Amino acid sequence: MEKYRETLNDLTWPELLQQVAAVLARDEKALENNVNYYKKMLGDSNADKEKLNRLFDKLQLDKLRLSYFSELFFRIDEGNYKFMIMNLESCIKQETELQNRSPKDWVATVRYENGEIKVYFMALSYYQ
């Protein structure tokens, strides 16, 4: 079984994406199991119709939620976005190590130069 972490702020971007992928996979499996249970209950002539309707509504919402979060995950996991975010994290970490304090307010510029994505970072103020 995958071990999930409760504190996420210390995760790197790839580690965070890995955790999100594991949660989405678990949710997808749970949804599949619940759909199979619903189909089984639907075939039972003694099933409570009100309970079936509530279960159907819940399954519809769960399916929609899984679709939304999966789409967000796959868009964020796209290579260029992942590269930019990882570079921003790296800039913030380097700035924190250089100044011995974290940047509170900063400006980042992402440019496409000579076929490559470049990330420029400038701290404006720091946490005391």
127: tokens are 């946490």
Q: In which band, very low, low, confident or very high, does the pLDDT at 6 lie, cut at 50, 70 and 90?
A: low
**Cβ atoms of residues 8 and 16 within 8 Å:** yes
* C-alpha–C-alpha distance, residues 54 and 70, integer Å: 24
Token code pair at residue 68: 């939304």
Residue 3 is given by DSSP the state P
52's tokens: 């079936």
The whole-model pTM stands at: 0.67
Q: What is residue 118's three-state secondary structure? A: strand
The secondary element (H helix, E strand) that includes residue 26 is helix 13-43
Best CA proximity match to 4, nearest among 16, 19, 17: 19
pLDDT of res. 123: 87
Token couple for 16:
């965070």
Which pair of tokens denotes residue 10? 């210390």
- What does the alpha-carbon distance between residue 12 and residue 92 come to, in Å, rounded to a whole number? 12
pLDDT at 75: 86
Q: What is the pLDDT of residues 25-62, one digit of tens each?
A: 999 999 999 999 999 988 888 888 899 999 999 999 99
Q: pLDDT category, 128, cuts 50, 70, 90?
A: low
Q: Which of 115, 104, 110 is nearest to 84 (CA)?
A: 110
